[in-house]
Amino acid sequence: MSDLRPVPDGDFAPAPLGGRVRLITWLTAASVVVVDATVAVVLLQERHPPPWPVWPAMFIAPVLVGAIWYGALIRRYRLGNDEIVIERAWLTMRLPLAGLTAVESDREALQGAMKIMGNDGLGAWAGRFRSKKLGKFRAYVSDPDCAVVLRWPDRCLVLSPAEPGEFTEAVRARLAGRD
């Protein structure tokens, strides 16, 4: 008889923001500030008042960029109830482990990836992507250097826990517990 012990649920912190994510976040924020400052200087030099939407738009743009950044941040990855849960500020993704065939750490998983839909830098890589290496896949990644690739027969998922080895082993333990 086999010793079937339940595998405890696990919470895994996301990796700290990687270089590309930090760079895109800072460039986006700086661009909004520079554009807003430039528009303000030009408008203050005008003798005629600008159309009414201009001033409100200058305040809305930084708030909108901040909201997108905040919403993109990955709060944690959770393993439990035979599923992986990806928690973000306004969206929680639940993906069943059923049918999972492979899990592996891969620092080069996002190399050459092209965005189909989503965000590829402001706060995280989050959304749908395509690459020669992985085909079509979903990603919820804060640092590509900590990428973990999970494969099912019909889909692929890339995550970036702070401790990729520990996360990979926890997922493998869950897979072994199902056999």
Instruction: Tell whether 41 is covered by a domain.
Output: yes
**What is the model's pLDDT at position 39?**
86
Domain that holds residue 59: 12-179
**What is the model's pLDDT at position 57?**
85
pLDDT at 10 over 80: yes
Instruction: Tell whether 4 is covered by a domain.
Output: no
CA atoms within 13 A on the CB side of 164: 21
Beta carbons within 8 Å of 1's beta carbon, 6+ residues apart: none
Q: What is the mean pLDDT of residues 100-127?
A: 93
Instruction: Tell whether 2 is covered by a domain.
Output: no
* 3-state secondary structure string across the chain: CCCCCCCCCEEECECCCCHHHHHHHHHHHHHHHHHHHHHHHHHHHCCCCCCCCHHHHHHHHHHHHHHHHHHHCEEEEEEECCEEEEEECCCEEEEECCCCCEEEECCCCCCCCEEEEEEECCCCEEEEEEECCCEEEEEEECCHHHCEEEECCCCEEEECECCHHHHHHHHHHHHHHHC
pLDDT at 2 over 60: no
Instruction: Tell whether 113 is covered by a domain.
Output: yes
Least confident of 24-28, 39-43, 88-92: 39-43
Instruction: Tell whether 5 is covered by a domain.
Output: no
| C-alpha 147, offset from chain centre | 11
| Number of domains forming the structure of the chain | 1
Can you name the residues that pair with 11 across neighbouring β-strands? 78
Label residue 178 by pLDDT band (50, 70, 90). Answer: low
Single out the residue of 75, 76, 80, 77 nearest to residue 9, CA to CA: 80
Q: What is the mean pLDDT of residues 104-132?
A: 93
CA atoms within 13 A on the CB side of 134: 31
Label residue 173 by pLDDT band (50, 70, 90). Answer: confident
- For the whole model, what pTM was predicted? 0.85
Model confidence pLDDT, tens digit, residues 86-100 = 999 889 999 999 999
Instruction: Tell whether 69 is covered by a domain.
Output: yes
Instruction: Tell whether 6 is covered by a domain.
Output: no
pLDDT at 4 over 80: no
**What is the model's pLDDT at position 151?**
96
Rounded Cα gap, residues 118 and 131, in angstroms:
15
Rounded Cα gap, residues 58 and 55, in angstroms:
5
